[in-house]
Structure 1
Amino acid sequence: MNTHRSRTSQLLLLLALCLFTALMLTPVAWAFLTSIKLPIDAFAIPPKLVFTPTFEFHQQVWMEKGFARYLANSLVIAVSTVVVSVSIGTMAAYGLSRMRGKAARGVLFGLLSLRMFPHMLLAIPFFLLAKFLNLIDTYPAMVLALVAINQPFTIWLMHSFFVDVPSEIDEAAAIDGASEWQIFFRVVLPIVRPGLWVTALFSLLLAYNEFLFALVLTGPHTKTLPVAIAEYGGEDLNYWSLSAAAAIGIMVPIMAFMALMQRHLVRGLALGAVK
């Protein structure tokens, strides 16, 4: 009886997960279908399920509209942000995880309060500062702004991984003669490496999808994909097909990265779940 109930529960859970996944993938599937349909087919009522596919809009996006350059800008800004943010956040999180008392808790909650600030309140100060430093339409302006915004998230996420590493490991390494830097790089960091990949992925997603700061701080030379996609739309139905093709294209690098890093991501998400 218990075995039958367990199988029934697993079957219901699997069915619920399949329905949830189908629901989440519906907008993506609809965008893909829109990108390979002519406007007369894409906006037909009722929707046409049988049509002649065309990749004309994908070709226009990448060959004629210069989206390859915008993709390069997005990747440069996102990767640079990840390198700087994760490097600083990892060291800060390790130090906070080894602090005793209420000081570390106060710092963490202070960082969390900064992360809760609406981006709109920070966009104007960042713009004025970048304009004063003559950094508008440059990579450093976007990277510094994204690092400042995403740093609290990086520290909090890495802190959750470091606190699961017993401090006795640090003490044992110190007894063996290891310095603080050796303990961090050679002992503790390899243990939380899966968590490091998870943090890098989420930081990459936040930087790669950023729109507001990219709209304010970038220009013709550093425009990113989210800003470029926002230029299409409106009354011309062809622009909607172009936007759909660009939206599908913007997901490809992230999907490729997640496919390559799947093993590390699964280990990182499960890190600390089993004591």
Structure 2
Amino acid sequence: MTTTALLLTGTRAHERRRRTNRERLISAGAMAALILVVVMALSPFLWALLTSIKPFRAAFTNPPTWIFTPELDSFVDLWRGTIFASVLGNTLLIAVITVIVALAIGAPAAYAFSRYAGVVGPIILLLAVVLRTIPRFAVVLPFYEISQALGIFDTRFALIAALVALNMPFTLLLLIGFFRDIPVELDEAAMIDGCSRFTAFTRVILPIMGPGLVTAGVFTFLIAFQEYLVALTLTRTNAITIPVFLAAQKGADDVSTYQTLAAASILLVIPVILIAIFARKYLVAGLGGGAVKG
């Protein structure tokens, strides 16, 4: 091998090492930034968790007390001394029914939008998206007036109807992407075999839409479970949800309630964490599938 060839080989090896070192440095920087973001995002939750399990005297010391014997008194007081249990059950019920109704309406509508080309469909979908972008403050007052006029104010029915209506554009957009990923030939093959359009939809298309339905259902559940403004406007006592319950508790002027509020915040987050853990496979598959096409 000539001297020139050796120099070229050495230069290429040196460039590869430099490129590898640069890539490692970029990866390390990205990992450090990601860890910092995760720590910042989790710090309020971890602080609330520590506050909820500390003894009362150790919860408000300055500087903070890091070594203590965990206690669950705040959770016991929350469960036995307040209406948190009934409010949590009401919130879960409202969120679950909202998901069922939203998917029952949104899935056929999204299927129709994805299969039938025309002028009216895109216009309706555009109007739905525009309505979704309107601030909540501009739409909750009409819902309030309507619920008062119909005599359904402070009922689960009014709150579920409002949540379904407000979140339907998002559900439609999400499901349309999944339906468009399914070849039209499947519908045609099913109808050639004797299925009607509705039978083809229910027996052939919907089973394939499992990840998409789970994804849309999870996001709808999370939105309904954590909604505050709509629940605050349409409820008073009978149908209040967890966010409204937490906001109504004394806290700013009563230190004794801080630990109870921290415990309530932790219990509010637990269902979300469980959903993220058990539905992560469907979420990843669903989001990946829906992102292939518009």
Cα deviation, 1:165-208, whole Å, max 9, x if unaligned, reads 22222222222222111221122222221011010001001111
Whole-angstrom CA distance in 2 between matches of 1:123 and 1:180: 37
Whole-angstrom CA distance in 2 between matches of 1:191 and 1:25: 36
Report the CA distance shift for 1:9/1:183 in structure 2 as closer, same or farther (over 3 A).
farther
Cα deviation, 1:16-49, whole Å, max 9, x if unaligned, reads 4333222221111111112123454333333222
**How far 1:4 sits from its partner (Å)?**
6.2
TM-score, normalised to structure 2, is 0.86
Matched residue, 1:254: 272
1:70 equivalenced with 2:63 (yes/no)? no
Report the CA distance shift for 1:212/1:273 in structure 2 as closer, same or farther (over 3 A).
closer
Question: Root-mean-square deviation (CA), in Å?
Answer: 2.1
Whole-angstrom CA distance in 2 between matches of 1:214 and 1:132: 18
**How far 1:137 sits from its partner (Å)?**
2.1
Report the CA distance shift for 1:273/1:82 in structure 2 as closer, same or farther (over 3 A).
closer
Which structure has the greater CA radius of gyration? 2
Equivalent of 1:160, from 168, 173, 177?
177
1:266 equivalenced with 2:255 (yes/no)? no
Equivalent of 2:106, from 89, 92, 100?
89
Report the CA distance shift for 1:176/1:10 in structure 2 as closer, same or farther (over 3 A).
farther
Whole-angstrom CA distance in 2 between matches of 1:52 and 1:76: 36
**How far 1:219 sits from its partner (Å)?**
2.9
**How far 1:70 sits from its partner (Å)?**
0.3
Whole-angstrom CA distance in 2 between matches of 1:273 and 1:5: 31
Larger displacement relative to structure 2 (176-185 or 256-265): 256-265
1:202 equivalenced with 2:183 (yes/no)? no
User: Percent identity of the aligned residues?
Assistant: 40
Larger displacement relative to structure 2 (256-265 or 70-79): 256-265
Within-5 A mapping of 1:95-244: 95-232=112-249, 233-244=251-262
Whole-angstrom CA distance in 2 between matches of 1:122 and 1:110: 15
Whole-angstrom CA distance in 1 between matches of 2:108 and 2:276: 25
Whole-angstrom CA distance in 1 between matches of 2:162 and 2:228: 12
Report the CA distance shift for 1:253/1:175 in structure 2 as closer, same or farther (over 3 A).
same
Larger displacement relative to structure 2 (180-189 or 215-224): 215-224
In structure 2, stretches of 5+ residues that fail to align are 1-15
Q: How many pairs align?
A: 275
Whole-angstrom CA distance in 2 between matches of 1:213 and 1:272: 29
Matched residue, 1:43: 60
| Native 8 Å contact 2:155 2:239 kept in 1 | yes
Whole-angstrom CA distance in 1 between matches of 2:167 and 2:130: 12
Whole-angstrom CA distance in 1 between matches of 2:132 and 2:156: 22
| Native 8 Å contact 2:110 2:179 kept in 1 | yes
| Native 8 Å contact 1:81 1:143 kept in 2 | yes
In structure 1, stretches of 5+ residues that fail to align are none
Q: What is the one-letter code of the residue matched to 1:235?
A: D
1:60 equivalenced with 2:77 (yes/no)? yes
| Native 8 Å contact 1:39 1:237 kept in 2 | no
Whole-angstrom CA distance in 2 between matches of 1:182 and 1:6: 53
Larger displacement relative to structure 2 (139-148 or 176-185): 176-185
Whole-angstrom CA distance in 1 between matches of 2:184 and 2:34: 38
TM-score, normalised to structure 1, is 0.91
| Native 8 Å contact 2:212 2:290 kept in 1 | no
